[in-house]
Structure 1
């Protein structure tokens, strides 16, 4: 139904291609049978071409950016030019432009278009996650497997976005593939998101200055992997915790994304034992000590887990799964060895 609805809206917009371009790509101008503009985000320039009429070369409304190779239809123009994430918002904006009836009841006040979510807000994080897709078969899966991470069950809070915006300190906005991690509170509500921009082939992180960034409300929240019970592990990085999960596949993991946020993570109500994975640096040591104090104050046993090298992903890649398992085994409470490593070789 959604695909049919999108196709119908794109077709109707194509009949008014020039009007769409004048409205959403106002920094461009008509050149023959094309609308020419800098890019789909309405930047001034001449590298993007939108076809205004059907021809043997293509349908009206189709566009290509010669500088980046991006292409799409007029729904993409609406989405990108307004900074929208959810398709429902894109479709509503298209209906407003086309003066079509809404599929939902009209709001009490006339709607003037869907406002973009404030940059870096929790709402922007929720929209970004909603626009992303499963990591299965994507460069996110390729990237994780190249780092030795192959157990990806229960990772629904990780998704893939093929063209995630990256804004360098200076220069134009870029788009790169990205791993999107949902940051949630104890009820499962998304309060933020973490982006890891990747090389297009998934071989490594993207060659940019800051390939990892978080957004939204992060304090007390975490990227939750698995369902927490009486025992869980908390740490800083997503890849670090996924690496630990290679040898503790049934233990819930909670990457908090930074030392400061690790120290402030909220405890699930049924938690009785917490394994703390901190980076080997002053910030990590401080987060570990603070978290131990907070856990003890709530009657939760806190046990630090230490990697042999810089972090557990480095251990996994340099030493292999069996050595990582052996190194973790001796740090666990005996009952957790039986519970979480009983099927391990």
Structure 2
């Protein structure tokens, strides 16, 4: 990416400076024409200030940390608050945010028009109110409970500290922290979200009858990790897909969230080879068979890869990453091993 492209991204983020701060620096608050927070990594405090509007003193989106003297723009905020490394990841996350962020500062809850429960608009609002997963229970859940240590390309996962859980029938509405996953279409537009409510004491799913739920327009869409190209992998669950991504970090992947939705995902026009992650149960076998037929009818090479246990996260947790790597190596093409597989 050229300097001009980066400058344009920073300028567009600056036009939505307050929305950026509310999303990535949610531990801070607005004070006059500035957003105050502890530092660029979203630590609570008031030493870092972000300019929210253009003024003779500077452009909107520029920030300075009075404690350290550091300064920068909102691309730096995204990089540090999300724990990203290379600039391509930062740029991809900035573009994703700009597609779903409000054009103006978010109004108060009282002045906002309501969105129908379960609608794509309600899903987009929930995702917009959620923050990065770095340093939260979501990161702890994925790494400690699920063995998913490498969290690159997980910009579509977010953390909400107080997400409502409504019972299926009668009962009390409860509030739990949650992992919020954006469901997107082929153009990257958020069409829905998937919620996983978490128990902060056990770092596992919350003790609810239905600790996972999705809402919005799901059919054909998915939770995406990486930008799809000519080769990609698709599976059912978020944790299942991220488990395989531990050994194939460079391969774009998507989680369809269920066997039925896996069978119905839409294929990118650029796709030439699709790896299908099979769950070892009847629903998983049916979904893979349907996917193979659809892919081949579209002229796409389809290859089913299967775990040793029930799914790839079970393999990762119970057999270890070396077992997942070795089993995957036996099932994918040699060119894709060289291109995508992380070396031990």
Q: TM-score with structure 2 length normalisation?
A: 0.69
Q: 2:208 aligns to what?
A: 208
Preserved contact between residue 278 and residue 307 of structure 2 (Cα < 8 Å) = no
Q: Aligned runs of 1:65-214 on 2, under 5 Å?
A: 88-91=105-108, 93=110, 113-146=111-144, 147-169=146-168, 170-201=170-201, 203-214=203-214
CA distance in 2, matches of 1:210, 1:8: 42
Partner of 1:16: none
Mapped partners of 2:191, 2:137: distance in 1: 25
Verify the 8 A CA contact 1:142 1:202 in the aligned structure 2: no
Runs (4 or more) in structure 1 with deviation over 4 Å come to 3-9, 85-89
2:64 corresponds to: none
Q: Which residue of 1 aligns with 2:225?
A: 225
Partner of 1:239: 239
User: Cα gap change, 1:286/1:137 in structure 2, threshold over 3 Å: closer, same or farther?
Assistant: same
The RMSD of aligned alpha carbons is 2.1
**More relative contact order, 1 or 2 (CA 8 Å, 6+ apart):** 2
Runs (5+) with no aligned partner, structure 2: 1-16, 23-27, 34-100
The separation in 2 between residues aligned to 1:115 and 1:173, in whole angstroms, is 22
Distance in 2 (alpha carbons) for counterparts of 1:129 and 1:288: 30
Distance 1:114 1:251 in 2: 40
Q: Matches of 2:328 and 2:29 in 1, distance apart? A: 52
- Could you list the per-position Cα deviations for residues 271-299 of structure 1 after superposition, in whole angstroms to 9, with x for gaps in the alignment? 11000012222221111111101100111
TM-score relative to the length of structure 1: 0.69
User: How many angstroms apart in 1 are the aligned matches of 2:173 and 2:249?
Assistant: 38
CA distance in 2, matches of 1:114, 1:300: 45
> How far apart, CA to CA, are the structure 2 residues paired with 1:322 and 1:197?
30
Q: 1:117 Cα shift?
A: 0.8
Deviations 1:249-273 (A, max 9, x none): 1011100001111001011111110
The residue that corresponds to 1:291 in the other structure is: 291
- Using the TM superposition, give the Cα deviation of residue 138 of structure 1 relative to its aligned residue in structure 2, in angstroms: 0.3
Provide the aligned length of Structure 1 versus Structure 2: 250
Q: Distance in 2 between matches of 1:185 and 1:218?
A: 9
- Distance in 2 separating the partners of 1:141 and 1:92: 28
